Structure 1
Amino acid sequence: MTALTLAKITRDNVGVACSIVVEPHQESYVAPVARSLAEAYTQPEAAWPRLILDDGEPVGFVMGAFDPDCPIDYFRCGLWRLNVAAGRQGKGYGRFAVEAVFDEARRRGSRRATTLWVPGEHSPEAFYLRLGFRDTGTVHDGQHVGEIDL
């Protein structure tokens, strides 16, 4: 059995993190890791970026967001980004990473988490719905807002 873990992004692994790319047909649905890390850099109090490792091998990237004072309620706690490397999908890495974000949210006292997705043929919408997210009916900048009770 493999050991799935998360690692903080450091100067030693930032290059590896930035080299993670999703399947080509998914590129329009998720920002590249480098952009996510740039956003994390500008919002260090809220961003929670992590490298997803399988027995120490990088297989993806996840970033939670925790900003309990954000004026937009669906940006207070949730999954901000999820990039599972091309060829590595369908092995439970995404589920593991999302559950880790949920665990961190619970540790911080949150009872609800959100995520956003753009609908489409290769959208992550079905994945998020399988995990238990519900479409709230809210659309933010073309993205559907999903929520889940923790």
Structure 2
Amino acid sequence: MTSPLRLEKITPDNVLAACALEVRPEQREFASPVAQSLAEAYVHQEIAWPRLIVDGERVVGFLMAFFGVRFDPADPRDRPRDGLWRLNIAAGEQGRGYGRFAVRAVAEEVRRRGGTRVTTTWGLGEHGPQGFYLGLGFRPTGELSGDQVVGELDLP
């Protein structure tokens, strides 16, 4: 039996459902609203990969990945990176494996494009996502992107 979980492109038919998605109130400081992410995807079309996370017919989350990005183009040691830019799981849908599915889906897309590691960032705080990412095997690189921790996951 196939999983009802899938990623869908953002379309005129689902954009309002995407924008209506909200995380739990205590997580808002760690997750940008989907509408903001879609605006950023629009102006960064060459690198942004926004997708809805759908379970059956229900929109349960949103992710946005990036491919071939340099965090500091002025630094010759900086290498192009692929990874997870945004992840929002709807408040009432958390704890059901949707975030794990999203990270796996991004990892598969990174592999498909020839990458060997997934990069992401997270904010620190009581209700922040650090435990989630560390539990999936991400390790802090020692770098910061603004005030966020940069983490990487090597792909087998």
After TM superposition, the score normalised by the length of structure 2 is: 0.91
Task: Specify the alignment match of 2:109 in structure 1.
Answer: 104
Say if 1:89 and 1:15 are closer, same or farther in 2 by CA, change over 3 A.
same
| Whole-Å separation in 2 of the counterparts to 1:76 and 1:138 | 13
Structure showing greater radius of gyration is 2
Runs of 4+ that moved beyond 6 A = none
Of 125, 140, 146, 1:141 maps to: 146
* d(CA) in 1 for partners of 2:103, 2:79: 16
Cα pair 1:75 1:114 within 8 Å, conserved: no
Letter matched to residue 131 of structure 2: A
Q: How many residues align?
A: 150
Which runs of no fewer than 5 residues in structure 2 stay unpaired? none
Using the alignment, how far apart are the partners of 1:12 and 1:67 within structure 2? 29
Which structure 1 segments of 5+ residues have no match? none
2:33 partner letter? P
> Kindly, what percent of the aligned residue pairs are identical?
58
Alignment match, 1:23: 24
1:29-85 deviations in Å (ceiling 9; x for gaps): 010000000000001110010000011210000111012566374762010000000
* Counterpart AA for 2:9: K
- Contact 1:20–1:60 at 8 Å: present in 2 too? yes
Distance in 1 between the 2:94 and 2:40 partners? Answer: 24
Partner Cα separation in structure 2 for residue 110 and residue 23 of structure 1: 32
Post-superposition shift, 1:142? 0.5
**In structure 2, distance between residues paired with 1:74 and 1:119:** 25
Structure 2 counterpart SS, 1:122:
coil
Q: Is the contact between residue 59 and residue 85 of structure 1 (CA under 8 Å) also seen in structure 2?
A: yes
The Cα RMSD (Å) is 1.6
The range that moved more, 68-77 or 84-93, is 68-77
